[in-house]
Homo-oligomer: A and B are copies of this chain.
Amino acid sequence: MECIEKWGMYELSFAGRSEGNPYIDYYIKAEFSGDNEKIVVDGFYDGDGIYRIRFMPSYTGEYSYRVWGNCLDDEKEGSFLVTPVKSSSNHGPVRVIYENFLAYEDDLPYNSIGTTCYAWVHQPDELCDLTLDTLSKSSFNKIRFCIFPKFYKYNEKEPVTYPYVRKRSAEGDFDFTWFNPEHFRRLDYYIVELTKLGIEADLILMHPYDRWGFSEMSKECDELYLRYVTARYAAFRNVWWSMANEYDLMSKGDDRWNEYGRLVTASDPYHHMCSIHNCLRYFDYGSEWITHCSMQRTDLYSHVELTDKYIKMYNKPVVWDEISYEGNIDSGWGNISGQELVRRFWEVSLRGGYAGHGETYVHPDDILWWSHGGVLHGDSFLRFAFLKKILCETPGGYIKCGQGIFDEVVGIPYDEENEATWSTVKYCSYEIHYYGFGRPSFRDYNFPEDEEYRIDVIDTWNMTVTDMGIHHGHTRISLPGREYMAVRLVRI
């Protein structure tokens, strides 16, 4: 019997009718049944007379399936075996846990270190391979990118493939009812490669940077597209849905976005992460189809420091997907220093949120990581493995912003039962105080005389942890008077 790993992607394919427009005129569906779940999924047409059905099992054991549709002459049946997870990069899909945090389905905390390469999959193969190679050596575990090609400054080349075929000639308008399978097969390939690397694929379904008309299709064509991509990609465990990038630069309106969000979540039997990303105005993240806040800063000066406020306001995980990029282009959203971007990552992380990176260094051939991928040129990406390591050391797995003392950020472990303890007990069992652009040369602590604390000084930029020994009572800890330092207090 055929075998597949739990949370793996199981694919069936069938030749079927293709007269007329097979993307509209025919459907194919399947029901998958195991001991613990029974799921109906839509298949999709992949060109050349072939229909495919993809399924992700969430349990082990034997599964059977039944396939039907008006593209087929008769129903198909079969069965396969789902084995326990073997590959180390497979922890299942990312889910919301404890309302505001993220974990893989196997309960491993997901400390998201995102990056953005909007149009990397639309670049020539060699560049895509180079991007994968860079990712494989990095600490990124999420990448945000667009299904539609991108037209924007520094992005004026044509994509390698288009998502639709042209109507009459190679120069004609695109037919928004006729997908180009080649475009989506490339995407399939790269999503699989990301899966192998253990990197979440945050798929941007729509965006405004367009000269081909993809951003302004009719509602019918939009819906056809959304059904197609959910049928095609929902069975990949690492997929997230981002309804749009900078939705508020598009003309669809909030009601339409809510309709589309509901369509996507209704079409996705696995309940992947789903959100919508803003430019100037946050969407109402309270909408029931939104799993997390996918945010871009809306102010030049005050943004990630509001992470804990937003978590409280929406009671959902906060994922900052755009907090300015490290680089040197002309725009303010793309020319901060590596130090400043790393500072923003630490602020976000210690306030209980998740941050995203991007790089926008001027390049002679306009190959900027933020859009095209390739190689990294900056200083910030080298510091994220260290941040991730520190976050992974959090007892219980989840760090939460505690009672802030005027001039410091306090991160303490998430504790569902004792949410109030940190406001009454001065020192919890584990705290990280991050000083950001502050440069204290010492800090005083008044520990209880009968409790002992191990103190580490963390240099978040130089990536060192210095053991300052075990202390009780009044304690003064020397610090180097540099920016980007943190102190970790652990009760023994």
A362 to B441, CA, bound (A): 8
A439 near B305 with CB under 8 A, answer no
A19 contacts the other chain (CB 8 A): no
B335 near A481 with CB under 8 A, answer yes
A439 near B299 with CB under 8 A, answer no
Known interface pairs A337-B483, A483-B337. Does A332 touch B301 (Cβ–Cβ under 8 Å)?
A: no
Q: Taking CB as reference atom, which chain B residue is nearest A477?
A: B330
Which B residues are CB-close (under 8 A) to A169?
none
Which B residues are CB-close (under 8 A) to A332?
406-408, 435, 438, 440
B407 near A336 with CB under 8 A, answer no
**In the assembled complex, how far is the CB of residue A64 from the closest CB belonging to chain B, in whole angstroms?**
56
A138 contacts the other chain (CB 8 A): no
**In the assembled complex, how far is the CB of residue A13 from the closest CB belonging to chain B, in whole angstroms?**
48
Per-residue 0/1 for A416-452: is the Cβ within 8 Å of any B Cβ (1 yes, 0 no)?
A: 0000000000000000000101111111100000000
A333 contacts the other chain (CB 8 A): yes
Which B residues are CB-close (under 8 A) to A329?
440-441
A328 contacts the other chain (CB 8 A): yes
**In the assembled complex, how far is the CB of residue A180 from the closest CB belonging to chain B, in whole angstroms?**
35
Q: A289-315: which residues lie under 8 A (CB-CB) from chain B?
A: 299-302, 305
A415 contacts the other chain (CB 8 A): no
A464 contacts the other chain (CB 8 A): no
Q: Taking CB as reference atom, which chain B residue is nearest A480?
A: B328
A70 contacts the other chain (CB 8 A): no
Q: A398-413: which residues lie under 8 A (CB-CB) from chain B?
A: 406-408
Q: A340-370: which residues lie under 8 A (CB-CB) from chain B?
A: 340, 362
A442 to B329, CA, bound (A): 7
B330 near A442 with CB under 8 A, answer yes
Contact of A301 among B301, B333, B337 (CB under 8 A): B301
B438 near A335 with CB under 8 A, answer yes
Question: Among A299, A301, A443, which residue has the most Cβ atoms of chain B within 10 A?
Answer: A301
Q: Taking CB as reference atom, which chain B residue is nearest A330?
A: B440
A443 to B336, CA, bound (A): 15
A21 contacts the other chain (CB 8 A): no
Which B residues are CB-close (under 8 A) to A442?
330, 362
Q: List 5 A-B contacts (CB under 8 A).
A: A300-B305, A327-B439, A330-B440, A332-B407, A337-B439
